[in-house]
């Protein structure tokens, strides 16, 4: 399996990308040297500027005339060129988002960005048959639920944590 790269930019985790696509993101200026990057299987992130052979390509191209830039192909990054110590510098851990079910909620799944849940009446126990998705944000997110059995509006809570 080829290396899969991720990066964190503007509080958003993006990826996975192949090593060639990752180099092209740096070339296009989408991936910035200040963004936090990591490979699949490595939990700790590092500044993109510390990845060997990623931004020297960009700086060499920036020194070339604009007409020649379209003809330059980025140098592909290979796993052989990236040993376990593939970068240096301070450890920067990418934020993880988790959701916990509060009053009247049943968590079905979550992917680190969104949570999928079902609503449940706290009075009679009636469960909503459909699933709802919600972006995970810090703190408590209230969601309303109308119970057809009790004929009352119920409050549902999803608690979000960002580390």
Cβ distance 85 to 57 under 8 Å?
Answer: no
Q: For residues 119 and 13, which has the higher predicted lDDT (pLDDT)?
A: 119
Q: Report pLDDT for 105.
A: 93
Q: For residues 63 and 129, which has the higher predicted lDDT (pLDDT)?
A: 129
Q: Report pLDDT for 91.
A: 61
**Which secondary-structure segment (H or E) carries 33?**
none
Cβ distance 14 to 31 under 8 Å?
Answer: no
Closest CA to 99 of 160, 35, 38: 160
Q: Report pLDDT for 78.
A: 58
Alpha-carbon torsion (12, 18, 19, 21), positive or negative:
negative
Q: Report pLDDT for 70.
A: 53
Residue 161: band (very low, low, confident or very high) from pLDDT cuts 50, 70, 90 = confident
Q: For residues 93 and 130, which has the higher predicted lDDT (pLDDT)?
A: 130
- What would the pLDDT profile of 96-114 be if each residue is shown by its tens digit? 788 888 999 999 888 888 8
Q: For residues 59 and 134, which has the higher predicted lDDT (pLDDT)?
A: 134
Above 60 in pLDDT, residue 64? no
Q: Report pLDDT for 9.
A: 79
Q: Report pLDDT for 152.
A: 87
């Amino acid at each position: 399996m080829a290396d899969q790269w991720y990066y964190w930019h503007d509080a958003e985790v993006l990826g996975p990308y192949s090593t060639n696509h990752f180099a092209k993101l740096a070339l296009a200026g989408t991936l910035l040297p200040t963004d936090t990057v990591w490979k699949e299987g490595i939990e700790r992130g590092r500044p993109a500027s510390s990845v060997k052979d990623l931004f020297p390509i960009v700086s060499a191209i920036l020194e070339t005339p604009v007409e020649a830039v379209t003809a330059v192909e980025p140098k592909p990054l290979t796993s052989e060129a990236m040993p376990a110590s593939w970068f240096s510098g301070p450890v920067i851990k990418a934020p993880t988002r988790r959701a916990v079910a509060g009053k009247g909620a049943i968590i079905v799944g979550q992917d680190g960005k969104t949570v999928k849940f079902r609503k449940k009446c706290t009075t009679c126990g009636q469960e909503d048959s459909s699933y709802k998705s919600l972006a995970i944000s810090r703190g408590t997110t209230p969601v309303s639920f109308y119970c057809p059995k009790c004929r009352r509006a119920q409050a549902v809570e999803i608690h979000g944590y960002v580390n």
